[in-house]
Structure 1
Amino acid sequence: MTIFAFPEKFLWGAAASGPQTEGTEGKPHRSIWDSWHAHQPERFFAGIGPEKVCETLHKYQEDVALMKNIGFNSFRTSIQWSRLIEDFETGKPNEEAVRFYNNYFDEMISNGIEPMINLYHFDMPEELQQRYGGFESKHVTELFSRFATTAFQLFGHKIKYWITFNEPIVPVEGGYLYDFHYPCKKDGKLAAQVAFNIMLAHAKAIKCYRELALTGEIGVVLNLTPTYTRSDSAADKKAAWYADLLFNRSFLDPLVRHQFPQELCELLATHHCLPEMSKDEVMLITDSRVDFLGVNYYVPRRVKAREAEYTLDYFTPEYYFENYIDPNGRFNPYRDNNEILPQAIYDIATNIRDNYGNIKWYLAEIGIAMDLESEGPVQPDGVIDDSFRIALMEEHLIQLHRAIGDGANCFGVHQWTFIDNWSWINAFKRRYGFYRLDLTTGKRQIKRNGLWFKSLAENNQFICEGPQS
């Protein structure tokens, strides 16, 4: 048996978002998720939209007590742009929203839970999408900076950790390449423009934060997916290089290394996808500095050199590779057979250490999905048995512990998520929470993984069979 102890003052908690937990009641505006579901409910699992979800708007006190009950010392959620802001052009806030967020954050703080607050979690206001095209527009990057400034001015005295964007590449992929987020377009050039504009919005928010001279820190959360090859052939390695460039370095290099990869610019130019930009905008992005990085990780990416002809009539990263399934891999039988690879955590950590200045970072999301049936019913002791998750989480944390021992500058772990929450077009199909959400009654029911996490968080260590790291 080995003890895996973590650094002093390590952050333990979970991540969620406003649109996935709060519900839509009381919002002065609709988000693209509200309007998309209203127009095309068939695109959502079981037709379930974001109207009610976890009812955090009314149950935040109960939820914070449950967080405290399983040892949280931190929690990440997001402020909904469409809830906080009354007037998008001026950044004027909605007073009801201000009261809610103040009460919610104060409730966490009074219970010893550090709120880490994200500004954008895929939830573009409908009005800005319809009027300007969302982040297709440079003007919307300015409106985002006004939203950010309002949030900083209202809550900056109590929030120590701010995040500009969660997974900024996902709206690009989902909304402009692969049709799983609104506006459901397929346009490689527009995708590149949206990606650039999101980075510009991030940089403008950073600038606003610095000008206010607040005492906290500000960062960004990226989903970093290590790329592994089918073989050691030169062609497969080149395919992996392209995948890493387009999915990881496209955001990681400008936002953390302060430079746009020359190879990326040349590649986009070749495909006539280079975004419109000015030298001043590029400098604003590359001159901005984050205080910390959040990293989301779920599954690895495996690729091979392209063998079949590329047939799409617009550019996607897959022009340069094909996705590959490792026939010898381990797979989660409870979530679409996705691969499980704990080693990836160590590889992410060493990449940040060796290639990105060993910036301070935390594991902002990690989770093991199961469906309702595989978790099973409540056991006689009142606990839902999701033990499948526990062993896998320990394997991932052993790799993180090994990386920290080798110099990785990691300061915390947040699992996805606290309570089973609504997840975009998947609604409640996939469950991740420490607590089960009953969709009929709204009741929260503890899972065995939550009890395991309580011991981990309160002791800042866990004990299991495994090699000394």
Structure 2
Amino acid sequence: MNEFVTESYYFPFLSLAKMVKKDEFLKQNEHQESNNKQVSRSDFPPDFIFGVATSAYQIEGACKEGGRGASIWDAFSHTEGKIIDKSNGDVAVDHYHRYKEDIDLIAKLGFDGYRFSISWSRIFPDGLGTKVNEEGITFYNNIIDALLEKGITPYITLYHWDLPLHLHDKMGGWVNKEIVKYFAIYADTCFSCFGDRVKKWITINEPLQTAVNGYDTGIFAPGRRQHSSTEPYLAAHHQILAHATAFSIYQSKYKDKQGGKVGLVVDCEWAEANSDKIEDLSAAARRLDFQLGWYLHPIYYGEYPEVMRKRLGDRLPEFTQEEKELLKHAVDFVGLNQYTSRFIAHATSPEEGDYYKSQEMERIVEWEGGEIIGEKAASEWLYVVPWGIRKVLNYISKTYNNPPIFVTENDNDTSPLHEMLDDKLRVRYFKEYLAAVSRAIKDGADVRGYFAWSLLDNFEWAQGYTKRFGLVYVDYKNGLARHPKSSAYWFLRLIERPVKIRMAKKSN
């Protein structure tokens, strides 16, 4: 048997993209329909949630106020050469002081839900859980209460990359198994303090990005790359166990009384086989296992994907039998962050970083004739490929026993000055991606909601303030004033909630 066959489990979900003409491929994926069909609220179930998302470090600011301790992103962003525009999140967009204004915007734009993250170091400044910071508890209580007063459902993420700096300095952060204990204390505290009103919890956002960009390529905090052959897999392993431990705590202590649900957010760039060659098909399947399987396989099947075990060997940690029991179906829903897609080909000289080298694949953005896979956004990595999100949703549904799914992030950014407010490309992006989501629902995927990233222009990690993903424009030069963009008004019309606001600018 060909050696590649043993590595590929999901050929039925992989299209032979480059063996047919481009137009035929697009027709097969209903791309033309998505361009012509106006998506509407009636395309989604009556109880479908439309929301917006943010994260604490990217918007809050007030880095030394309210008893907050330092995080790894405070240290990283103040390190020379780490942030493209030499900026940081010390002030960010000052959500800490302007949260009422921002929640008013969410309500006026008609959104049902708001996904935001809690800063771990606002609850426990040193991360250790020895003494809770009551000012931090009060701040998030105020946000939750303000949301509920406006009829907006809070969706809370416990960890969105801003690890308390003390935990990194003291014990190495996510590469030390002790961190599972401290995350459990933090999660337990949040469930106890906020769970009477919060019914949707996300433990960890995109653990893949923490593991790879934080401990392999080093482009995100904490910026480690010294031991990239082992540390990303340790960081991932401990995040999985931290999630499962927090889930177990909720089930045993809070579920009966509070009635909430706990999920995990994964991210996936859809992997489309570059040809019908067995090595390309295998590379595409491998790519999906290294993205989704890395985190969902242990929960649904008790083990890492076979292809990861085969390629990484003893660099991939083992779960004990007790841990396997802890992991068993330890999720109430799957959150999916999905932005773009790639063609995937087998490659003997793959991308840099141990994670990418181990996959032996090449990520391609062009058709054979040289045309790009989709319209390019402002960020160099982001192409508009709406058929990709439908494929990811169907893949999760078919591979992991059709779990409830929330699209927890989806968006593209703008660059030209004339599109900062009248963001026509982003409106087209939302139209086409939401049309693809509605078709995935018709396919049978149990998608319960969609959260646009992001409510506000904000600190975009290593890109600083050079990229704008917000539905609301933030004027960095004039007091951080907020101005809804055309895409925000487009959502207002789509959701059709009985809220009217004066449109400052005619939308697209």
Normalising to structure 1: TM-score of the pair? 0.91
1:218-233 equivalences in 2 (<5 Å): 218-233=262-277
Identity %: 29
The counterpart of 2:495, out of the listed 432, 457, 463, is 457
Q: Which amino acid aligns with 2:424?
A: S
**Superimposed CA distance per residue, residues 40-85 of structure 1 (whole angstroms, 9 cap, x where no aligned partner):** 1432122110100111111011111011110011000001001111
1:354-365 equivalences in 2 (<5 Å): 354-365=398-409
The counterpart of 1:59, out of the listed 98, 102, 106, is 98
Q: Which amino acid aligns with 2:461?
A: W
Tell me the equivalent position of 1:283.
325
Give the match's secondary structure for 1:43: coil
Alignment length (residue pairs)? 448
CA distance, structure 1, for counterparts of residue 259 and residue 381 of structure 2: 44
Closer, same or farther in 2 for the Cα pair 1:313/1:124, shift >3 Å? closer
Closer, same or farther in 2 for the Cα pair 1:50/1:315, shift >3 Å? closer
Tell me the equivalent position of 1:324.
364
Q: Which amino acid aligns with 1:299?
A: T
- Name the Cα RMSD after superposition: 2.0
Tell me the equivalent position of 1:466.
none
Q: Which amino acid aligns with 1:71?
A: G
Tell me the equivalent position of 1:202.
243
- 2:431 maps to 1:390: no
CA distance, structure 2, for counterparts of residue 311 and residue 78 of structure 1: 32
Tell me the equivalent position of 2:20.
none
**Superimposed CA distance per residue, residues 322-350 of structure 1 (whole angstroms, 9 cap, x where no aligned partner):** 22222332232522263221111211121
Q: Which amino acid aligns with 1:295?
A: L
How much has 1:368 moved relative to structure 2? 1.4
CA distance, structure 1, for counterparts of residue 295 and residue 131 of structure 2: 30
The counterpart of 1:266, out of the listed 307, 310, 324, is 310
Tell me the equivalent position of 2:414.
370
Closer, same or farther in 2 for the Cα pair 1:76/1:372, shift >3 Å? farther
1:10-409 equivalences in 2 (<5 Å): 10-23=48-61, 24-26=63-65, 27-38=67-78, 40-86=79-125, 88-186=127-225, 187-213=228-254, 214-269=258-313, 272-275=314-317, 277-285=319-327, 287-308=328-349, 314=354, 316-326=356-366, 327-328=370-371, 329-336=373-380, 338-371=382-415, 373-376=417-420, 384-409=421-446
CA distance, structure 1, for counterparts of residue 455 and residue 39 of structure 2: 25
CA distance, structure 2, for counterparts of residue 48 and residue 273 of structure 1: 36
CA distance, structure 1, for counterparts of residue 445 and residue 353 of structure 2: 42
Closer, same or farther in 2 for the Cα pair 1:88/1:7, shift >3 Å? same
Tell me, yes or no, if the aligned pair for 1:20 and 1:423 is still in contact at 8 Å.
yes
CA distance, structure 2, for counterparts of residue 337 and residue 36 of structure 1: 22
Tell me, yes or no, if the aligned pair for 1:203 and 1:288 is still in contact at 8 Å.
no
Normalising to structure 2: TM-score of the pair? 0.84
Q: Which amino acid aligns with 2:95?
A: T
**Superimposed CA distance per residue, residues 99-149 of structure 1 (whole angstroms, 9 cap, x where no aligned partner):** 111001100010011010000001111110011010111111110000000
How much has 1:182 moved relative to structure 2? 2.3
How much has 1:276 moved relative to structure 2? 5.6
CA distance, structure 2, for counterparts of residue 235 and residue 457 of structure 1: 44
Tell me, yes or no, if the aligned pair for 1:188 and 1:316 is still in contact at 8 Å.
no
Give the match's secondary structure for 2:496: helix
**Superimposed CA distance per residue, residues 381-428 of structure 1 (whole angstroms, 9 cap, x where no aligned partner):** xxx211221122111111111111222211111000001011111111
How much has 1:317 moved relative to structure 2? 4.3
Closer, same or farther in 2 for the Cα pair 1:2/1:333, shift >3 Å? closer
**Superimposed CA distance per residue, residues 199-256 of structure 1 (whole angstroms, 9 cap, x where no aligned partner):** 0111111111112233111101111222112211111112112211212211122234
Q: Which amino acid aligns with 2:53?
A: A
How much has 1:374 moved relative to structure 2? 5.0
Q: Which amino acid aligns with 1:30?
A: A
Tell me, yes or no, if the aligned pair for 2:214 and 2:220 is still in contact at 8 Å.
yes
Tell me the equivalent position of 2:25.
none
Closer, same or farther in 2 for the Cα pair 1:176/1:128, shift >3 Å? same
Closer, same or farther in 2 for the Cα pair 1:387/1:325, shift >3 Å? closer
Tell me the equivalent position of 2:471.
434
Tell me, yes or no, if the aligned pair for 1:372 and 1:431 is still in contact at 8 Å.
no
Closer, same or farther in 2 for the Cα pair 1:33/1:88, shift >3 Å? closer
Larger deviation, residues 79-88 vs 396-405: 79-88
Q: Which amino acid aligns with 1:306?
A: A
How much has 1:91 moved relative to structure 2? 4.8
CA distance, structure 2, for counterparts of residue 220 and residue 146 of structure 1: 18
Q: Which amino acid aligns with 1:178?
A: T
The answer for unaligned runs of 5 or more in structure 2 is: 1-36, 499-508
How much has 1:262 moved relative to structure 2? 3.0
CA distance, structure 1, for counterparts of residue 414 and residue 84 of structure 2: 15
How much has 1:29 moved relative to structure 2? 1.2
The answer for unaligned runs of 5 or more in structure 1 is: 377-383, 461-469
Tell me, yes or no, if the aligned pair for 1:221 and 1:296 is still in contact at 8 Å.
yes
Give the match's secondary structure for 1:301: strand
The counterpart of 1:411, out of the listed 448, 460, 464, is 448
Tell me, yes or no, if the aligned pair for 2:334 and 2:405 is still in contact at 8 Å.
yes
